[in-house]
Structure 1
Amino acid sequence: MAKVTFNNKNKAFFNALKTRVDAYFQENKIKRTGNFELYAKTAVLIPGAVLIYVSLLFFPIPAAVKLLMSGVLGAILASIGFNVMHDACHGSYSSKKWVNDVLGLTLNALGGNAFIWKFKHNIIHHTYTNVDGLDDDIAKSPLMRQCRTQKWVPAHRYQHIYVVLVYAISSFAWVAMMDFNKYFKARVNNTPLQKMTFSDHLVFWVSKVLYVIFYVAIPVYFLGWGPWAIGFTVMHLVMGLTLALVFQLAHVVEHAEFEFAGADPVQIENEWAIHQVKTTANFAPRNKFINWFVGGLNYQIEHHLFPRISHVHYPALSEIVQDTCKQFNLTYNTFPTMTAAVASHFRMMKQLGQEE
């Protein structure tokens, strides 16, 4: 694994930012973890998913409506991932570790694995954001070229078109292949996976079996192979496209910067916090529905700077971050709408596809 270090000798930006953020929580006498807003979302999303699941299995509903409900289920599952799982796996849902651990397992209920995801996302992605060769989130080459240091192949000329299909099937690929690939290789991209305990292995296999039971066996038993296959496909297409797009808009957009980790040790000139600002972008900060649905992940800059603070605080913290960025002459990358961010992402993918 390439060794990458940051110039953290003088963490002036982060120290100034942390002082102001600490003061915000102290002055307002609030916790950094979730609050009633987050708990209310959990009480809506998880029972909502269960209700749709049960309705699809046991109620006589017209086929067209079931198709629509399958898509809605996929969107709700994605929102559970954004809101509940994401905060819990970062340890920011609750001040109680056991609550975070339990709710982090909602990822396993979606078909993933919390242990592998925490290592992949919390440690690698949040440390080496947009560092080609380390960040697994941009390690899709040669299928997709997401930065200029990645090898170009002729098929990339059309990647801005076919990535829509890639994103749509991404959650199915995650459940069926990618977790197993990382598990058996004991690696995430070029980084050795943390050692798993017996209980980690047990949870991995039990949750994978339960996924097959609840998402395949039970629906097939009550509905038959055909209806199950159609509903399962629609659910995953919506879920995959939703998850992929939201995370792509955070880092693979115009103005976001990239670094390259080759065979030799790499010294990134900026401190870690400045690197996070330069490699990350926000979108639709004033859209309350998007903020609610994506669990504050439209405030990715704040999330990358303070991943252990719950997303419910990001709108307030964004004012502090923007002001501190101005003091240090740092560009605060943000798109006013989600449409603008999506357009930027696809423009960038097209540009990267034209270059040899």
Structure 2
Amino acid sequence: MEDLHSFGWYAKRVAKYMPEGVFKPVPARLWGGLAYLLIVIAGFLTIGFSDWNPLLYIPISIVLGASFAGMGFLGHEILHGTVIKQPLLRDILGAIAFWPLSTGPKLWRKWHNLNHHIHTQDDEKDPDSWPTIEKIKKMKIFQWIYKLPFFVRAFFGFASLSFQFTAHSLHMFFLFVTDFKKKKQPEVWMQTIMPWASWIGLLFIVGFGKWIFMFLIPLIIANMIVMGYISTNHRLNPLVPVNDPLANSLTVTVPKWVDVIHFNFSYHTEHHLFPGMSPKHYPLVKEKIKEMWPERYHEMPMGRALKALWQTPRVYSSEQTELVDPKKGSLYGSLGNGLNPKNIKIKVDRHKSQSQS
């Protein structure tokens, strides 16, 4: 693997070219969150107080799901401190923004801000990294899954995006809750329990039929939108011994209007370089990175990134720079290590080699 540098190494060299004031909070971002909140309230009231054919609720559910996701993107921004700095107000607004996804602000900062950002793509320390072949061999359920044909695994892998954020968030809660000091743990519990209590309470208020359209379908849609980004953020990149954002992160490109409604969440390499900068300024960061390290910067259209995920396995080889299919032992490159997203090919076909020998 080429020489790696820490995110601080890059940040130091890029920051001096940034305009004055780019590291200040941008409270105006909250207007987008207010718009999403009003849309959600309007959608809930429309479904709750109407008696329409259920098919007519589907478009509302889609809008609600998109709004849940948009609120989550803003919540991510708020809890990085790039919207407001006051800790209490930051946590209150972050909790509201993450309420549809039922993720508490204290858990998110512990899981995402501290562990994921500081140890990105570290095999042992990043809670979001995918496993190596050695770890898979110790997990019986994954051993069974990886006996399935590649196409079947890819299909179910993409289908799982519909609930993966919610499931992973709950897993992170149980993983990290005991890491908090005893006196803080009740608050962490409450921040997780209260959103779920509200959604379960809604079920009893409106009934199962309307609850499906008000919460369940929107949650599935929100998971798919959020995981569409998260699954492309790092899963085509190698595991790395040094937290190098240009090696371990991918920026995807989407239409400009999508960047607007998703608060520039597509600029992921830039985010890992400057998590304390408002994403409003990430186009400036991207321009400078591409000017200084064009050969190391990874970006591609969202559709191409998702297609590459479909065509490659999600297990890392022992070397951690390649992806491996546990069933056949076939090796695929990762970004910066032989993977060409426009033409996915097996790097080493061990199954074919063994057959010939």
Deviation at 1:35, TM superposition (A): 5.2
- Give distance in 2, aligned partners of 1:178 and 1:56: 32
2:308 corresponds in structure 1 to: 344
2:279 is equivalent to residue 311 of structure 1: yes
- 8 Å Cα contact 1:35-1:312 kept in structure 2: no
Q: 1:71 to 1:94 in 2, by over 3 A?
A: same
Residue 223 of structure 2 is aligned with which of 216, 227, 240? Answer: 240
Q: 1:332 aligns with which of 287, 294, 297?
A: 297
Matched residue SS, 1:283: strand
Deviations 1:279-335 (A, max 9, x none): 0011115x2122123321211011000000011111122101221224xxx510000
Q: Is 1:58 the equivalent of 2:55?
A: no
- TM-score, normalisation: structure 2: 0.76
8 A contact 2:252–2:302 mirrored in 1: yes
Residue 238 of structure 2 corresponds to residue 257 of structure 1: yes
Q: 5+ residue gaps in structure 2?
A: 138-142, 315-322, 330-357
Is residue 2:174 matched to residue 1:181? Answer: yes
Distance 1:101 1:232, change over 3 A: closer
Q: Is the contact made by 2:36 and 2:67 (CA closer than 8 Å) also made in structure 1?
A: yes
Distance 2:133 2:17 in 1: 36
Q: How far 1:215 moved relative to its partner? A: 1.3
The structural deviation recorded for 1:7 is 6.8
2:16 is matched with 19
- Structure 2 vs 1, CA of residues 137 and 20 (structure 1 numbering), >3 Å: closer, same or farther? same
Q: How far off its partner does 1:235 sit?
A: 2.0
**Higher RCO (CA 8 Å, separation ≥ 6 residues):** 1
Segments of 5+ residues of structure 1 without an aligned counterpart are 1-5, 142-146, 187-192, 260-267
Change (3 A) 1:97 1:342: same
Distance 2:293 2:268 in 1: 15
Aligned to 1:206: 190
Structure 1 residues 277, 40: CA separation in 2 closer, same or farther (over 3 Å shift)? Answer: same
Do residues 91 (structure 1) and 81 (structure 2) align? yes
Q: Partners of 1:159 and 1:304 in 2: how far apart?
A: 30
Structure 1 Cα separation of the partners of residues 67 and 8 of structure 2: 40
1:65 and 1:179, CA in 2 relative to 1: closer, same or farther beyond 3 A? farther
Secondary structure, counterpart of 1:33 in structure 2:
coil
Deviates more, 1:70-79 or 1:346-355: 346-355
Distance (Å, rounded) in 2 between the aligned partners of 1:229 and 1:322: 45
**Residue 163 (structure 1) aligned to one of 157, 162, 168:** 157
Q: Distance in 2 between matches of 1:95 and 1:11?
A: 22
Superposition deviation, residue 12 in structure 1: 5.3
Find the aligned partners of 1:230 and 1:35 in 2 and give their Cα distance. Answer: 32
1:236, 1:14 → 2: CA distance?
36
What is the percent sequence identity of the aligned residues?
A: 16
Letter in 2 for 1:32: K
CA contact (8 A) 1:246 1:294 kept: no
Distance 1:174 1:151 in 2: 18
Q: Identify which range, 121-130 or 225-234, moves more after superposition.
A: 225-234
Distance, in Å, in 1 between the alignment partners of 2:289 and 2:238 is 18
Task: Kindly indicate whether residue 252 of structure 2 is the aligned counterpart of residue 283 of structure 1.
Answer: yes
Report deviation, 1:88.
1.1
What SS is found at the alignment partner of 1:318? helix
Structure 1 counterpart of 2:266, from 298, 305, 317: 298
Q: State the alpha-carbon separation in 2 of the partners of residues 114 and 11 from structure 1.
A: 25
Give CA deviations for 1:233-254 in whole Å, capped at 9, x if unaligned: 312221211121211111112x
Note the aligned Cα RMSD (angstroms): 2.8
**Which deviations, in whole Å up to 9, do the C-alpha atoms of 1:16-56 show, x marking residues without a partner?**
222223xx2x2xx55532253x2331221122122212222
- In structure 2, the residue corresponding to 1:138 is in which secondary structure? coil
CA distance in 2 between partners of 1:12 and 1:100 (Å): 29
Scaled by the length of structure 1, the TM-score of the pair is 0.76
1:103 alignment partner AA:
L
Q: Take 1:345 and 1:202, find their aligned partners in 2: how far apart are those partners?
A: 39
Cα separation, 2, equivalents of 1:52 and 1:317:
37
